[in-house]
Structure formats: C-alpha cells, structure tokens
A and B are shown apart, each in its own frame.
Chain A
Amino acid sequence: MKQDASTRLDATFLALADPTRRAILARLATGEASVTELAEPFSISQPAISKHLKVLERAGLISVGQDAQRRPRRLEGTPLAEATAWLEQYRAAWEANYQRLDGLLEEMQRASPAAKRARQQTKRPKRR
C-alpha cells in the first residue's frame, strides 16, 4: 500500500512538474476535451500535446472518455488529491509553525533593546 502510494506520487510529481501539463489539467477541470480542443489554446503542436497527455495518463491524472471518435481526455482526481494532500499537509504544518514564529519575532522586536541586553545575561530556565 505504502509502496503503491509512493510510486504513484513519483509519477504524479513528475507529471505536475511542467507548466503546460498543469495548464492542461486546469483546462480539464472545466470538463473533458479532445486532443484537438486541448491543443487549441497552446502554441505548441498536437504531437507535443499528445506527449504531455501520455505523461499525465501514465500518472493516472487523466483518462480517456467513452466516445471512441473524439477520445476525450478527462481529469482523474485521486492521484492529484493524494499528492496535494501530502504537500499541503506538510506545508500547513510548517505554516502553522511559521505563523507562531511571526508572532514571536514581532514580540522580540518590540522588546528589542531590552531583549538584546537580556540575551547577554543569564539564560532563562526552560518552560516545563
């Protein structure tokens, strides 16, 4: 399970590492689209788009819809959600720390001249 998850994450992060691919995902978030439709807004060739789509498909981020003629691509949310969940969880934990640090630094600066002197003197005992 863990191995599956991390292998999938690898593929997801690789797929997300490119701005064109992220833009394709954003387009697909508004609804499924054929390769031609996907290529339209981009100033790159259809084969180049197809290459990007292959990477996204391998990562499980998109799939090919029912229509055999248009072969529309559509967004598959799960791998992306897993990737962003981990990164966002990690980020959120850091951000919570950093917001407390913002407050502490502000407090230290308000007390700055006195704090500087205090620093030279005895260290206060640890809380708890």
Chain B
Amino acid sequence: MNATKENTMQTIDRAEVTQPSDREVQVKRSFKAPQALVYRAYTEPQLVQRWLLGPPGWSMPVCEMDVRVGGRYRWRWRNNDNGAEFGFSGTFREVQPPSRLVHTEAYDPGTVGDDFPRNDAIVTVTFTPDGDRTTVTTLVDFGSKHARDAAVSTGMTDGMEQSYQLLDRLLEQQPRA
C-alpha cells in the first residue's frame, strides 16, 4: 500500500492540526521571517491585534498583553455583523524571547454563550528557526480529555454545512488503492 507522504522536515506552509494526546491539540505553521520578528508579532499587542482575528467578519477590539512571567493578557473579539463577543484571558508562565511562550488560557464566553464549564488551558508556543524561516508550534493542553471534548463539541456546532465538501476533499487527497 501507499505509505503516507508525511515528511517531518518539510516546510509547513499551511496550518497543520494534530492531536498529540487525548487532551491536546497542536497547530504547526511555517513563516517566511526570522525568529525574532515572528516572536515580536506574537508578543506586541499592536501587532497581535492586526492578525489574531479568527474567521472573517471578526475584529479584535481588546488586546492587552503584559508579556512577562506572571503578567496578564486579555483578548476579546467582536462579530462585526451581530456584535457578538467572546474572549480569552490568562497569565504568562514562561517568557523566553525569541523561542518560547507559555500562558494559561481561560475562555470568556462573552455574549456568544457556552454552558460548558472548563478549566484553563495551557498554551505553549514554540518558535523554531528553520533557515530563513520560522516554524511556530502551538500546543493547547486542555488539561483533561473532558475539557478538550467540550471545546471540540462547541467548535463543531456550525461546521456541518461545509463538512461534506470537506469530506470530498479529504478523500480526494487519499491515495487510491
């Protein structure tokens, strides 16, 4: 049979989502910029606010970050159409420029609503130089399988529309026997 063509060293120019364990989700992506610059884009609020916006139609009216160990951050997004808001906040646990950031992440349901109680997640962001590029790995540890599943279920609520097209695409990418 055809083995998968995965190559750990290849450049990831498209966000790659994996689940390293049953309580974690990991996102990996490579950027054409030096490590120090990518680190800045992740840690200077006025820069973060320009890209950390989520799906189209959302803006980030609040982006406060005190990037030092024990420092707090607060992010809030607003839907431009209906004014719905939600956010994340937490504390920086590790700050190692330009290679590593660890922070807690508490979900603030805002007006979007979510009746699922969950603990803070721990987010570890690693910046790895790779030639003239930088690979960013974001590991979200939800603390328990239950919490991750809660996040998974919540995230699933309105994704069904596109799901069948996605299924088609996924299967197209598989090697045909």
Contact = CB atoms under 8 A, between A and B. Distances in A.
Contact of B155 (A24, A25, A90): A90
Contacts, number: 156
Interface in B11-25: 14-17, 19, 22, 25
A101 B17 CA distance: 18
Contact of A91 (B15, B38, B44, B176): B15
Contacts of A26: 171, 174-177
Interface residues of B, number: 57
Nearest to B47: A104
B51 A101 contact: yes
B45 A126 contact: yes
A30 B176 contact: yes
B6 to A, nearest CB: 9
Interface string A49-89: 00000000000000000000000000001001110111111
A108 B42 CA distance: 13
A30 B22 CA distance: 31
Contacts of B4: 19, 22
Contacts of A30: 176
Contact of A104 (B19, B41, B153, B167): B41
B55 A104 contact: no
A9 interface: yes
Contact of A85 (B29, B33, B159): B159
27 contacts: A6-B149, A6-B150, A6-B152, A9-B156, A19-B3, A23-B177, A41-B177, A43-B1, A77-B164, A82-B163, A84-B163, A86-B152, A86-B155, A86-B159, A87-B17, A88-B166, A89-B159, A91-B15, A93-B55, A94-B17, A95-B14, A96-B56, A97-B53, A105-B37, A108-B33, A108-B41, A126-B45
